Amino acid sequence: MSGSKHFYLGILFFIAFVLSFTFISEKQANSSAKVTYQVKIPLGIPKDLWEMFIPPDNPITPEKVELGRKLYFDKRLSVDNTVSCATCHDPKFAFAENKKVSEGVGGKKGARNAPTVLNAMFYEEQFWDGRAPTLEEQAKQPIINPIEMGMPDHDAVVKKLKGIPEYVEAFRKVFGGEITIDRVAQAIAAFERTLLTGNSPFDRFIAGDQNAISESAKRGWQLFQGKARCITCHEFNRSNPFFTDNKYHNIGVAMNREGFAELARKAEMLAKQGRLDKRKLDELALDPAYSELGRFLVTLNPKDIGAFKTPTLRNIELTAPYMHDGSEATLLDVIEFYNRGGNDNPNLSGEMRPLNLTDQEKQDLVEFLKTLTGEFPKDFPENK
C-alpha cells in the first residue's frame, strides 16, 4: 500500500472518530435537555441511570406525571368503569398483586400473574414475554384486551376520555393539543417512570453497612452467587442493580400440559396468514392455552417455547404468589422448585439442574430475598 493511501485512510478514520463523538454528544444532549422533572433516586440505583432511560420523544414534566397518575388510577379507562392499571398493579402489593392471575372486567381471569411496575422503566422489554418494547407500548394493550379493561378499541378510549372535561383540559395543558391514544400512553409511562424502588437493607449492606442484614441473609447472599446459582439469571451489579438479565428462559414452569407442539403450529399458521398482529398477540398471551408458549408467541423461534422473562427480585417478599402463572405460593416454594431443577420438558433451559440445598441453605436464601424489600412510593390521593 502506498504512503499516500495510508495518509488518506488515516484522515477517514479521524473523521469517523470525530463524528462518533458528535453523535454521542447530540444523543446525550437530546436526552438530558428535555428532562425537567426531579425525582428522588433511592439508594442502590445509579443517580445518572434514571435520566438516561427517559426517552427523548417523551420528555417528563410534573404536569405529565400528574396526568399519568390520574389515568393510572382511573377505572373509567375500562369498559364498565371497574378496572384501572392499579387494579392489577396495586401500590399495596409493591405495584403487583396478591392473586395467582389477574382479574379484569366482569371478573374475567387471565393466565398470568401481574409483574411489578416498580423500576420497570429500566427493563429492555415489557410483559413476561417481552411483546412490548417500551412502557408506552405496554400501556396501550391492557386497555383494549377483552379480559382486562375491555374497551372495544383505542378510538373508543379516546372518545370516552374526550367526554370528561377535566381530561380535555389536562391534555391541552400537557401536550398542547387534543387527546390521542399515544398521549394517553405517554402520560401513563411518564408516571410509571417515577415509580422507583431501592434503599433496601441489601442496598445498605452493599453500600457498606455490615449490620444492615442478618448473618443468615449474608449466607443466603453467598449461596445466591454460588451454590444456588440464582445470579446466573437474576443478575446484579452496581450498574445494573435490578436482579434480572432481561432475557427469557424455560425453567419448567410452563409446558405442564400436553399439546404444545400443536399450539405452536397454530400460532405459526396465524403469523403466516398475517393474523398475528399486536392485538391478537396480546389476546393469545392471556389465553390459558396459548399463554404457556411464552416468548415463542413473540419470536416464533422454537427455542423460546415455554420461555419467560427473568423477573426482578426487588420487593419479592411483597409480591406473592410467584412465577408467571402464580403457581408458587411462597418464597420457600420457589426455592424448592429450583432445588429440584424445575419441571422437565423438551425445551428446559440447560441452566436448570438439581441444587442439593440443605434446609438451612433454603432458609438462608429466603432471609436474603427478604432483604430486597425497599422503599417505594405508596401514598397517592387515590389509595388513601
Catalytic residues, by residue number, are 148
219 by Cβ neighbours in 10 Å (0-12 / 13-18 / 19+) ranks as middle
CB 226 within 8 A of CB 298: no
In angstroms, how far is CA 195 from the centroid of its own chain? 12
Which SS3 state, helix, strand or coil, does residue 151 take?
coil
Count the Cβ atoms, other than its own, within 10 Å of residue 208: 7
97, 284, 293, 324 from 100: Cα distances, Å: 8, 18, 18, 9
Question: Alpha helix (H) ranges present in the chain?
Answer: 3-33, 49-52, 62-73, 85-88, 135-144, 154-162, 165-175, 181-192, 201-206, 215-225, 260-272, 278-285, 296-299, 331-339, 359-370
> Would you call the peptide bond into 62 cis, given omega within 30 degrees of 0 as the criterion?
no
